[in-house]
Structure 1
Amino acid sequence: MNVVLDSQPAEPGRENEDFAAAAPGAAVLLDGAGVAGAETGCTHGIAWFSSTLGGLLLGAITAQSTRPLTACLADSIRAVRSLHEDTCDLTYRASPTSTVLAVRVTAGALEYLVLGDSTLLLADADGKTNAITDQRLDEVGRQLRGPVDALPTGSPQHAAALAEYRDALTGHRNRPGGFWIAGPDPQAAQHALTGAVPLESLTSVSLLSDGATRLVDSFELSTWPQTLAVLSASGPAELIRRVREAEAGDSEGRRWPRGKTHDDATALHWVLP
């Protein structure tokens, strides 16, 4: 496998809640989340949740190559739950959650699973790109985040509005008409976006957390083909460097309103044979 990966926390010295890894013929990326400024009810924390779930999922999709990706994810969520349900409050509103991207090569095809607002970027032999993202979280968020976007990022007022927004968002989590994300309930796996693409039609697949896609979907400074060009020529570290450069030029979120000035950013670029 020809895989290049880079992952950087939102701030130096801060715990990175993203997780990405690859194994022969498979890769996963998870972006952990909680509620801003709130306790999680979990003694282990968000980074532990995303990395533990990610490691178990990667093992499951490689060891059980014929088991559907949704079933592998449900099994992995169930396994993580068993690891901490006796010590942590998994009914707590801010219990750790995570987006999930998973891809696996099998029977001449690339199978994929997308849950939450991370992005799977597929490139074909003609140079075309196909970005697959679960839009449900963003659709709910747009209805709720007006008060947050009206305030300078990092200000006390912004922090208070952000906490209220995240709290309201949990009321729409893992329920019909809302959005679905990996958490304590394995049933969320059945609501993931899934599909398969002929392997011979692809030249690369990239797994990107929303902290790494800001140039395209938040700042509108780049396109998916341009993002692919950076990944192919210079790698994930250069993509994240460009994101950080743009963020630094708008630290208060005046031009691009957002919850955090910087976010954990992870990109995994897999060049297919």
Structure 2
Amino acid sequence: MHTETASLPGDPERPNEDWAASAVPASGQGGVLVVLDGVTPPSVDVGCVHPVPWFTARLGGALTELSASRPDLTLVEVLAEAIRRTAESHSGTCDLSHVRTPQATVVVARWDAEAVEHLVLSDSVLLLESPGGAVRAVRDDRLDLVPPEVLRSHAATDRLRNARGGFFTAAADPSVAVRAVTGVTPRSAVRAVAALTDGAARWVELFGEGDWADCLGVLRKEGARGLLDRVRALEARDAEAGGVRRWKRHDDATAVYAEL
């Protein structure tokens, strides 16, 4: 197995709220990758004394440990337990019922000799490449269905956050795990996997430089950092043209690529 990870902050003056890891189980068979994209809160009190990177590090660490050490648990069960553990670690100091309590998007992939399992919650992306080169993108598109005018309003967005008919992120409620997009693919049908936060997925989704197969080709040839450098160059070029294609110049961007 070969894995490669790269992550860049959207603003060098602010901490990176993305989190990523890969792991090989103690058995030496298979592997795990985990990618989180922390949700930046508005500049108001959200009832928690901890910053988003604190949350993503703890949730990501729990996800990685449980995914690698508990093959008896489904990824939905892994996510639910990781959320529960993380919530317990700050329930005594923070109001976890606040709609903007620290939260994150989630991508998890886990594989062994027989199968590749996946879980995606919110707007990060998982790519599965077949031995023949076909690439399937696994996405949770519920946030895409929210009208742009709603997304521009914090109050309107919050009414749809982790609510029926809206979109879901990993926050403090373990029951949200059942809302994730999940699946299992035969191991023989997958030769590589990749996970991208939306800041890295801009190469396809915002700038249209290629499709997901092209994106995975960049990861293979230029590495995870190569893809992120391409995104930053496109963002700089867009800024020079007036910046009409995105609502903030840079976003935290993370890519993990694994050849199985």
TM-score with structure 2 length normalisation?
Answer: 0.93
Match of 2:79 among 70, 73, 94: 73
Where in structure 2 are the equivalents of 1:108-257 lying within 5 Å? 108-142=114-148, 144-145=150-151, 162=152, 165-251=153-239, 254-257=243-246
- Give the aligned residue type for 1:18: D
Instruction: State the partner residue of 2:52.
Output: 46
Cα offset for 1:12? 1.8
Runs of at least 5 residues in structure 1 that lack an aligned partner in the other structure: 146-161
Instruction: State the partner residue of 1:35.
Output: 41
Cα offset for 1:248? 1.2
TM-score with structure 1 length normalisation?
Answer: 0.88
Where in structure 2 are the equivalents of 1:14-25 lying within 5 Å? 14-24=14-24, 25=31
Aligned-partner Cα distance in 2 for 1:8–1:221: 20
Aligned-partner Cα distance in 2 for 1:74–1:170: 22
- Percent identity between matched residues is 40
SS for the counterpart of 2:120 is: strand
- Give the aligned residue type for 1:71: E
Cα offset for 1:265? 0.3
Aligned-partner Cα distance in 2 for 1:27–1:173: 26
Instruction: State the partner residue of 2:11.
Output: 11
Over aligned residues, Cα RMSD in angstroms? 1.5
Moved more, 113-122 or 220-229: 220-229
Runs of at least 5 residues in structure 2 that lack an aligned partner in the other structure: 25-30
- Give the aligned residue type for 1:271: E
Q: Any idea what the Cα deviations from partners look like across 1:61-109, whole Å, max 9, x if unmatched? A: 1111021110110011011110001111212232111000011113500
Cα offset for 1:175? 1.5
- Give the aligned residue type for 1:16: N
Q: Any idea what the Cα deviations from partners look like across 1:171-209, whole Å, max 9, x if unmatched? A: 101111111110011111010010011111111000100
- Equivalenced residue count is 253
Moved more, 28-37 or 67-76: 28-37
Aligned-partner Cα distance in 2 for 1:219–1:144: 23
Q: Classify 1:136/1:56 alpha carbon distance in 2 versus 1 (closer, same or farther; 3 Å).
A: same
